[in-house]
Amino acid sequence: MIKHAQSAPAITRTRHAQNTAHAKATKPAQTIKAALSSSLLLLGLAFPSVAVAATDIWNKDMYCLYNNSSIAFTNCGSWNYTPNTNNSSSDIFYVKSGETYREGFGTFAFTTNYTNGTLIFGNDKKEQGSGQIHLGSGGGGGHTAYLNGTFNVKEAYFTGTLTTGNNTGAGAGASLTFNANENITTQGFNANFWSNTQGATLALNSKKDITINSSTFTIDGSNSNFTAKANGKFSANGFTLSMPGTTESINANISAKEIDIKNGSLSTGTSSTAGVYSTTSFTSTGGDINFDASTTTNFKTENVIFKSTNGSINLAGTTVINSGELTTNANINFNSDKNITLGNADIKINYGSGALNMKASENLTIDKINLNFDLITAATYSHATFEGANIDIKSGNITTTPGASTSNSQIDFKSSGSINLGTTNLNIQLGTSGKGGRLNFSGASLTHTGKLIVGRDGEGTGEELLDSGIWGAVVDMSNVSGKVSLGDLYARKGTFITNSDFAAKSLYVRRTTGNPTTDINTQENSKLTIDTITIQGGGADNSGHNASLRFNQSGMKAGSSLTSKNVTLNNLATINASNIETTNIQNLVLKYDAEAYFNQLNIIDAGSIVMDVNSTINIKQSFSVDVKQSGNAVDNFGTPLLYVVNAGANMSNINIQAGTIHRFITASGGISYTFTTASGATSTFHCDGGADTLEKCTYIKNSIAIYEGDKVNPTTNTDGSIDYTAGRVDLATVGSNLGLRFEKVVDYSTIGIKALADNPDNPYDIGDIRYYIWQKGGTSRGDEYVSKIAGISTTSLRNETIEQIQNGQKVLDSNGNAVMVEVANSDIFDWMQFLSIHSKGITWTGTNIMDYDIDFFYDTATQLYNTLGQVASTERKSSMASSTRLAADIAKIQRLVKVSRSNVMDRGDTRFAEYLKSLKGKRFASNDASTSGVASDYAESSALDPAFLYKFSNRHDYNNNIWATAIGSASFVINGHGTLYGINTGYDRFIPVGESGVIVGAFGAYGYGSYTADLIKNHSHNVNAGIYSRAFIGNSELDLNIGYTIGMNNEDIHARQNVWLSALDQSYRYNTHTMNLNASYGYVFGVKNGSLVFKPAVGLGYYLMHVGGITGDSAPVSASGAGYGNPNYTFETNETAIQSPKITQNMLTLNLTLETRQYFSEGSYWFVNVGGQKDLFISSGSVTEVRFIGNGALSYKQGDMLNTHLLGTAGGEVMLGKQTFVNFALGGRAGLTYKDLNITANLGARYVF
C-alpha cells in the first residue's frame, strides 16, 4: 500500500476544474468537485497495490484518475500521486454514494481492472444498501461530457441507486460495461440511465451466473442498449426493465445458458425514425427460458427473439409484442429445440410487412393468443408460422385488420402430429388487389371449435362494400392427412381447400357486391360433413348484394360426398354442388329466387324440402327421396316431402308459362323414391306412369304441399288422425276465376306444376293476355273488354277469325271440325303480354287483371301506348329545343321590327324638319304617275312612299345594338306538356347602303326545360345560336336566318307505382341537334307618314334534325325458369330496357305571315305578326322504331305526321333613355293537324350605341 505525504481529504463530492492549478490536496477543507464528462468515470480509479479489506474508490484515487487522464499531469497535484487502474488485489472496491460531473464536452473513456476483487456499488459490503450514485449531475446541467467506462472484475454486486445524465436531460450520459469472471448480483438495485441523443449502455457480462433481485433498470435515450450475458444461469426475481421509445435504435439482449425470470416486468420501446430497427432478444445456450405467470412483457422493437438451444421456452405470464411501424417491418421469432409454452400472448404487427415465427421441435402450446396483423398500408405479405410436433392453442384470436393494403397476411400451421386450435377465432381478410390472405394447415389432424372467418367479421353494408375486392382469401387444409374437424365457418368470397376427411359445425356464406362466390374445393373420394350451411340472402331490394357457394370449381371429384343436416338458401342465394358426386341433405330450404344445383341429391333421415315458388333445384344425375306412408293421415295426404311456399293468391307468384311445366325440382337422371308403406313394406321406383306405381305416386303427389304464404303445421283431429292438408292451396278450386286449373306433376325426372284452361267458352289460349281480359268480362262482356283495349291503337286494330286453341290443342266441335272464333287483335296486346305473361307468368297476369277494373287496365294500356309514341316521336324529343328556338325567333322578330322603323319623328329627330324647311318655296314634280300635279302643292300626299322615309330613321344615328331578354315558355303536345325558361341575347349592326341598308346580327339563347307526359319525365338543357340579317330594298324586306340548336336531355320513365308497368321504370339520356335555314320576303305598306306599317311576307324553312339513340337501364327479366332438363332453359335474359335508334330527319316548311307595326314618338312601338306554317315534307327517316332490348321481334314504329301551325306574335318596346329601351313580346304556335301548342313570353332590354 503506498503512503501519501499528506492524508487524502475526505471528499463526498468531487469536482475537477479543467486547466486550473488551484485545486490543491493541501487544502483538505476544500470540497473538490470533479466535473466528469460522463457518469461512471469515477468508478475507474486506480488504487494502491496494497490489499485493504474494503476500499472506497470514490475519493482521491477517482479524482486523480480524472485529473491525470484529462490534463495528462505526471502526478496528482501536491499529492504526487499517480492512480493505478490495474489492481489485482482481492479487496472489495466500492462506491457507496456520490455525485459528480465532468466539465466540458467530448467523451472520456477508461478501463479499470479489479480482476481479483469484488466491485460493489451502493454499499461497502455485499448487502442491500441505499447508496445513491449520480454520474453527470451538477455544474448547472450545462456539461454534456460522455463517459465510456469498462470494469473488469472478479465479481460485481449492485445495490442502491445508480443514475447517469445531467440535470437538463441534454447529455452527460454513460456507457458502462461490467465484465465479471464470476457472478454478477443485484439486490434492491435501481439503475437509471438517460442521455438524450448520446446513447446509454449498461452491459453485464458474467462467466458464471447473473442474479437479479428486486432491481429496476431504466435505460433511456437514443441508441440505448442493455445487455446481460452469462455463461451460467440468468435468474431474476422482481426484475424490471424499461427502455422507452426514442428517435434511434433500442437494443435489449439477455443471453445465458438458462434464463429464469420471476415477478418480472419487461418493456422495450421502438424508434420513431424511418428505417431504424430495434431488437429485444432472449437466448439460452443450453437450457430453458422460463418466465413465471407473474412476469409480463411489452415489447415494441421491430425484432423480438426468443431462442432456446437444447431447452424449452416457457412464458407463463402475459407476453405483449406490438411491433413494426410505417417504414419498418416486424420480425418476431420464437425458436426452441424442445417445447414452446406460452400463457397469454398478445402480438400485434403494424403497418409494414412482418413475420412471426414460432417453431418448436417438440410441442407448441399457447393458452391464449391474440395475434393481429394491422395491415394499413402494406403492399406485401406479412406472415405467421406456428410449427411443432403437436400444436395446441386453446383460445384467443388470430386476425388481420384490413385497410388500404393491396395484399394480406399468410398464416401457416405446420405439425407432424395434431393441430388443436380450441376456441381460437381465426380471421383472414380479402385483398383489394393482388392476393388475399391465406391460412395453411399441415399435420396429422386438425381440430378447431372456434370461428374461422374469411373477410370482414360483420354483415353491414359497409363491410359488404369494403369486401368487394376481386381477390378472396384461401384456407388450405389439403395437407392434413387425418381428420379435420372445424367449428363455425364464415366466408365472404373465400376459398376452402379441404382434405379427404372434413367436418365443420356450420358454414355461413356472407354476401357482398358483385354476386361473390365462396368456393370449397375437395379431393377425390373426399367425405365432407357440414352440419349447417346458410347462405345469406340478397339486399333489402333483393338485388346488388348477393352470395353463393360453389364446390369444386375445377370439375367433378369422383367419389366425393357432402352431408348436411340443414341447408338454407336465403333470397337470391345459390349453391352449386354439381361437382360433388353425392350430396346428402336432411332439410333443404330455398327462399325467394334461390337456386340449388347438385349432381346427385339424397334427402335423408325423413327430411324435407321447403322452397319458395320462385326457387329451383336442378340435379344433373339422380334424386333420391325416402317416403314413409302414414297410417293415420287424412285422405291419404302424408307428411310433406316438399313444401312449396309463397305461391300467392291464385298461384300468382309462380311464373307459369302456358303449355309448360313449372319445375320445382328437375333431375336429369331421374327421381328415385324409396317408399315404405304403413305396414313396413319397402320398394324403390320411379313415377314414370306405370300402373303398378300409380297409387304410390298419387300418395307422393299428395306429399307435395303448396301454400299461399308460409307453410302451416299439420293438425291432429280428435280421432288421432293427422291432417296434413291444413293451410294448403286447394288445387281443385284455386284459379277457377281465372279460367284455369292446376295439376301437380310428378314424373320420371320432374316435380312441378302446370296450368290448364278450364273455360271452353273462352276463345283465346291461356298463353294469350286476351284470355284473361275476356275472362274478366265473361260470356256477356268478354268480347267488349278485348275490343276496348284493342281500340287504344286504332292504327293496329284488326278483327280476325281464327281456330280456337286451348292448352295447345285445337278445339273441335261434335263433328270433329275446328271451332272458329272471331277475335279482336292489336299490337298493344303484344306489348302488354311481354310485360306480364312473358316475364311474370299467366297466373300473375290473370290475377292482376281480375284484381283491377277494366278502366284501370285500359288506362294502363293507354299509358304504355302513349309512352311508346312519346319515345318514338322525333318532334316530341326535340320539343324543348324547339321552344328555345321559338323564343329566339320571337326576340329576332321584335328586334327587326324596331330596326325597320320608317317613322322620322323618332326621339324628336330634327333632321326631317330641317330638310322640309330647306324645301320651302320649291316645287317638284310628283313621283305619282296617277297625277300631273306638283307634290309640294299637297298638304298631305296620299302617295308618300315609306321607303322615302327610311333614310331618316334613327338607325342612321346608332348602328350598333345589344339586347337581352328573359324567356318563358309553356308547350302542350299530344299527351304531354312542358315548361321552359332561360335567357336570349344578341347583337346586330345596321350597315347603310345608299338610301337603304342591311342589318346583320348574331344571337344566342339558353333554356332549361321540363317535360311530363304519361310515364315520362324529362329535364333538358337547350342552347340555340345563329345569325340573322334583313336587307332593305325600297319597300321590300329580305330576311335570312341560320341557326343551330342542341338539346341535352335526361329522361326517366316513372312506372314503379303501377304493377303492370313497373318493369319499364328506367332512365336514359339523349341529345337532339337541329340546324335551320329560313328565308322570307316581305313588302311594306305604310300609312300615317309611315308610323303604321303593314307587311305581308312569304318564306321557306328547312330543318335538319338529329336525335341520338336511346338505351334504357332497366334490369333483366327472366322469361323462363332455369335448370337442368328444362327444355325452355336459356342463358339469355329478356330486358325491358327501352331502345330507340338514332334518327336524322329533314323537314321543309312554307310560311305565310302578315305583320302590323305601329310606331310612336320617343322610340316606342307595338307590332302584331300572324300567319301560318305548313309542313311540306318530312323525310322517311322520321319513322322511329322503339323496342325492348329483350325482344327483337316486338317493336313500335311511328312516323311524325305533317302538321299545319297557326303562328302569332305580339309585342312592343318602350324607350327609357336616349339609348336604352325595354321590350316585351308574347308569341304562340298551335298545330291544327295534331296537338302541338306553344306559348312563349319574353321581357328584355336593348341598348344602342
**Domain residue ranges in the chain:** 625-757, 769-851, 874-1248
Q: Which residue has the higher pLDDT, 627 or 141?
A: 627
Q: How confident is the model at residue 606 (pLDDT cuts 50, 70, 90)?
A: confident
394 pLDDT more than 70: yes
Average pLDDT over residues 1129-1136: 43
Q: What is the pLDDT of residues 740-787, one digit of tens each?
A: 999 999 999 999 999 999 999 999 999 999 999 999 999 999 999 999
Which pLDDT does position 169 carry in this prediction?
Answer: 67
Which pLDDT does position 1162 carry in this prediction?
Answer: 63
What is d(CA 316, CA 313) in angstroms, rounded to the nearest whole number? 10
Indicate left, alpha or beta for 734 from its phi (over 0: left) and psi (-120 to 50: alpha). beta
What is d(CA 92, CA 70) in angstroms, rounded to the nearest whole number? 26
Q: How confident is the model at residue 1237 (pLDDT cuts 50, 70, 90)?
A: confident
Which pLDDT does position 243 carry in this prediction?
Answer: 94
Give every CB contact of residue 596 below 8 A, 6+ residues apart in sequence: 567, 569, 574, 575, 576, 577, 588, 590, 615, 616, 617, 618
Residue 304 and residue 281 in contact, taking contact as beta carbons nearer than 8 Å: yes
592 pLDDT more than 60: yes
Which pLDDT does position 784 carry in this prediction?
Answer: 93
Q: Give burial (CB, 10 Å; 0-12/13-18/19+) of 414.
A: middle
Q: How confident is the model at residue 128 (pLDDT cuts 50, 70, 90)?
A: very high
Q: What is the mean pLDDT of the chain?
A: 82
Q: Rounded to a whole number, what is the largest CA-CA distance in the chain?
A: 164
904 pLDDT more than 70: no
Phi, psi dihedrals of residue 905, rounded to the nearest 5°: -90, 30
Supply the DSSP symbol for 720: S
Lowest mean pLDDT among 30-34, 636-640, 1089-1093, 1098-1102: 30-34
Phi, psi dihedrals of residue 1012, rounded to the nearest 5°: -135, 135
CA distances from 936 to 911, 939, 1225 (A): 18, 8, 40
Lowest mean pLDDT among 98-107, 1044-1053, 1091-1100, 1132-1141: 1132-1141
Q: What is the pLDDT of residues 160-210, one digit of tens each?
A: 999 988 777 677 788 999 999 999 999 999 999 987 777 889 999 999 999
Q: How confident is the model at residue 453 (pLDDT cuts 50, 70, 90)?
A: very high
Which pLDDT does position 296 carry in this prediction?
Answer: 96
Q: What is the pLDDT of residues 813-868, one digit of tens each?
A: 777 787 777 777 788 888 888 888 888 899 999 999 999 999 998 998 888 888 88
Which pLDDT does position 556 carry in this prediction?
Answer: 94
Q: What is the pLDDT of residues 478-535, one digit of tens each?
A: 999 999 999 999 998 889 999 999 999 999 998 887 667 899 999 999 999 999 999 9
Average pLDDT over residues 333-356: 91
Q: How confident is the model at residue 884 (pLDDT cuts 50, 70, 90)?
A: confident
What is d(CA 232, CA 259) in angstroms, rounded to the nearest whole number? 9
What is d(CA 103, CA 918) in angstroms, rounded to the nearest whole number? 118
CATH fold group of domain 874-1248:
Lipocalin (2.40.128)
1073 pLDDT more than 50: yes
94 pLDDT more than 70: yes
141 pLDDT more than 60: no
Which pLDDT does position 1232 carry in this prediction?
Answer: 86
Average pLDDT over residues 254-260: 98
Average pLDDT over residues 28-51: 36
Which pLDDT does position 432 carry in this prediction?
Answer: 57
Q: What is the pLDDT of residues 200-236, one digit of tens each?
A: 899 999 999 999 999 999 998 888 999 999 999 999 9
Q: What is the pLDDT of residues 1150-1164, one digit of tens each?
A: 999 998 988 776 678
Report CA 113 to chain centroid distance, whole Å: 70
Q: How confident is the model at residue 402 (pLDDT cuts 50, 70, 90)?
A: low
As a whole-number percent, the residues of the chain with pLDDT over 70 amount to 80
796 pLDDT more than 90: no
Nearest to 552 by CA among 584, 585, 528: 528
Phi, psi dihedrals of residue 769, rounded to the nearest 5°: -60, -25
At 935, list the grid cell.
307634290
546 pLDDT more than 90: no
Q: Which residue has the higher pLDDT, 848 or 15?
A: 848
Q: Which residue has the higher pLDDT, 943 or 619?
A: 619
Would you say the pTM of this structure is higher than 0.85?
A: no
Lowest mean pLDDT among 860-874, 1009-1023, 1119-1133, 1175-1189: 1119-1133
Nearest to 573 by CA among 610, 541, 601, 536: 536
Q: What is the pLDDT of residues 691-700, one digit of tens each?
A: 999 999 999 9
Q: How confident is the model at residue 55 (pLDDT cuts 50, 70, 90)?
A: confident
Supply the DSSP symbol for 691: G
Average pLDDT over residues 589-594: 93
Average pLDDT over residues 537-550: 73
Q: How confident is the model at residue 896 (pLDDT cuts 50, 70, 90)?
A: confident
Range picked from 80-94, 320-334, 603-617 for highest mean pLDDT: 603-617
The DSSP code sequence of 1039-1082 is EEEEEEEEEEEEEEE--TTSTTTGGG-EEEEEEEEEEEEEEEEE
As a whole-number percent, the residues of the chain with pLDDT over 90 amount to 45
- Can you name the residues that pair with 77 across neighbouring β-strands? none
Q: Give burial (CB, 10 Å; 0-12/13-18/19+) of 1028.
A: buried
CA distances from 705 to 48, 709, 826 (A): 110, 12, 40
Q: How confident is the model at residue 728 (pLDDT cuts 50, 70, 90)?
A: very high
Q: What is the pLDDT of residues 17-29, one digit of tens each?
A: 333 333 333 333 3
Q: How confident is the model at residue 541 (pLDDT cuts 50, 70, 90)?
A: low
Which pLDDT does position 1247 carry in this prediction?
Answer: 85
952 pLDDT more than 70: no
Which pLDDT does position 72 carry in this prediction?
Answer: 35
